[in-house]
Structure formats: C-alpha cells, structure tokens
Amino acid sequence: MSIRDELQSTIDTLVQPGKGLLAADESGGTIAKRFKTIGVESTEENRRAWRSLLLSTAGLGEFVSGVILYEETLGQCADDGTPLPELAARHGIVPGIKVDAGKIALAHAPGDEVTEGLDGLAKRLDGYKKQGARFAKWRAVYNVSDMLPSRLAIETNAASLARYAAICQEAGIVPIVEPEVLMDGGHSIERCAEVTEAVLHEVFDALHRHAVTLEHMLLKPSMVVAGKEHARQAPAAEIAAQTVCVLGRTVPAAVAGIFFLSGGQTPEEATANLDAINRTGRRPWPLSFSYGRALQEPPLKAWKGQAANLGAAQQALIKRARLNGAASIGRYDAAQEALAA
C-alpha cells in the first residue's frame, strides 16, 4: 500500500458519521491531577488499569473511531496481556499517539508559549507506527488577553504545527493539528473569535507552505467561547454561530474533518455546544469531537480506582460517548430522550 493509500485508509476509518475521538493522552502531570480528584495515586499500574478500562469498554467503537494515547500507553498491556493499542483496534478503534513534548515560554514574548518536540520526530514516528499508531496529535496553545497572543506566537506555533504535520504525512501517519485558544481569562467571546480567526489563518498558510495534504489531516480546534472569568457566558446557539463563522472564514473545504477539543467545558456543555454547531448551516466538513475530560470525567468519578467499579465506570463512558456521537450529527435531544426512556 502506498503512503497516500495508507493515509486515506486511516482518514476513512477515523471520519465516520456519528463517531469521534477519545483523547486519553494526558501527560504524567495532568493525569496525576485527575487521579487526585478521586483519591488515587498516579502509579504506572493505576494508569494502565484506567486506560485498559477505557479501551476494553464494550460497544465503545460504535461511537469512537480513534483514541489518542500517551507514549507510555503504547507499550502497556491489558490484564490478559493484550497490548493496549491492539485492544483498541479489536474494538474498531484506531490507535493514535500524542507526539509533542509540551509547552514552554516563548522567548521575547512575555505571556506566550510555544510547543516543543520536533527534534527526532521522524524517528519516533517510525517506532510508534511499529507499535500500532496510525495517527498523531500535536497541540499548540494560545493565551488570550487584550495583547495576547503576539504575532510572534501565532507565527511560531503555526510553523511548528505545519512542520509536524508534514513529517507525519511523510511517515504515513495522519496528523491531527491542534491549535487551542485557551478559555483561561476574562476575554469576551468576540475576542476569542478574533484570536481564533488569526490563529487559523496563520496555521493554514503554514500548512500550505509545508505542502501538507489537507485531505489527509484533521483539525482539532477549540470552540469560540468567552473566557471562564468573563461576566457573560454565551448560550450554545451563539457559540455555534461564532464557531462556524470563524471556521468558514479560515478552514479550506478540503480538510478531511474537524474534531473539537472540549477545553475545560463540562461534559454537558461540550456535548450541547457540539450539537448546536452541527445544527448550524454552511459547513463543508464533518464536525465531531476529540474529548478528553469531557468523556473521561464521569467514568473516572464512577471508578474511584476500584476494580469493583469497572462496570459502572464503563457504563458512564459509553453514555457520554453515545451522547457525543449523537451530537456530532445534531441529534443530541433524541439521544437524551432514548436514554431517559
């Protein structure tokens, strides 16, 4: 199979109506914070048990087409010895891998950050592919204020995202490009829209310069929302209208799919906003979800680190996956009614 055919095969499997992605790629620090909320220590065994629980959930593949894994998880196995990437694949879920090395302060740009991890990426991708990964993810973050992000931050992160995407495609790995405009702060929804538009314009300009094939990549943007500290939080319909407007101005129709991050929204908010987005007109791309906490928070609370709670945790996960799958085709209300019946 040619690299082009390989990429297209992965895209076809990932982009399916009514399905989205599970982001289970939390770094060591992030998953430790999540575990702390339920009183569980972040040991390698506890992380393995948790991610095994997620990937062994019966029926998950009906609503989730791909899972983004952390490097550690690629080498871990389920209780029966099955490698976790293979366990995902058995459920019809494509394994993927987070490849960036996290963010640092951007020199000469106070308040801005840039993502590291390009050094040795091609070699690492070769190893990840042998472990079963078929797609990858790279996250860039943009802090928002009246002055942030700077032009330097917008341009630097766009160049890194584009170079990462080009390296992935050369390796036969589908790149997910994730420019996250952060919800932290007191900015308005209008300021978020302004920043998101500038960021996405620059990202796609850089992708063009690096000859990235748009049909063989996925975009993972943040929704256009006000900062968490802003006095006015917009309703779902307004978030949807602003988000679709910005995407329409910046994202070429050739892009294979858009999978939103939840970015600090509650599970219920993330689902309702995705549903509203899919009820808004003029959209040439599939619009779905790539959620971490918005999918994992309810099952994590049900699990509490205890093997006896595995069934309850998996039920909580499948419920959120089902509701988000419905929201990705604008049928959230019908799904809620069916679950309540």
What's the confidence (pLDDT) of residue 323? 97
Assess whether 197 carries a catalytic annotation: no
Domain 3-340 bears CATH identifier 3.40.50.720:
no
d(CA 102, CA 22): 19
Q: Please state whether the peptide bond connecting residue 149 to the residue before it is cis, i.e. omega within 30 degrees of 0.
A: yes
pLDDT at 1: 85
The CA dihedral of 302, 303, 308, 313, to the nearest 10 degrees, is 60
In 3D space, the residue among 120, 119, 151, 121 whose CA is nearest the CA of residue 137 turns out to be: 121
pLDDT at 72: 95
220 catalytic? Reply is yes
Instruction: For 70-103, write each residue's pLDDT tens digit.
Output: 999 999 999 999 999 999 999 999 999 999 999 9
- Series of mean pLDDT values for 10-residue runs along the chain (341 residues): 96 98 94 95 96 97 98 94 96 97 96 98 97 98 98 98 98 98 97 98 98 98 97 96 98 98 96 97 92 97 96 98 97 84 65
Compute the distance between CA of residue 162 and CA of residue 169 in angstroms, rounded to an integer. 11
Q: Is the entire prediction scored with pTM above 0.95?
A: yes
* Complete DSSP assignment for 64-78: EEEEEE-HHHHT-B-
Contact indicator for 303, 251 with CB cutoff of 8 Å:
no
Mean model confidence pLDDT for the chain: 96
- Which one is catalytic: 19, 98, 137, 220? 220
The one catalytic residue among 6, 26, 113, 178: 178
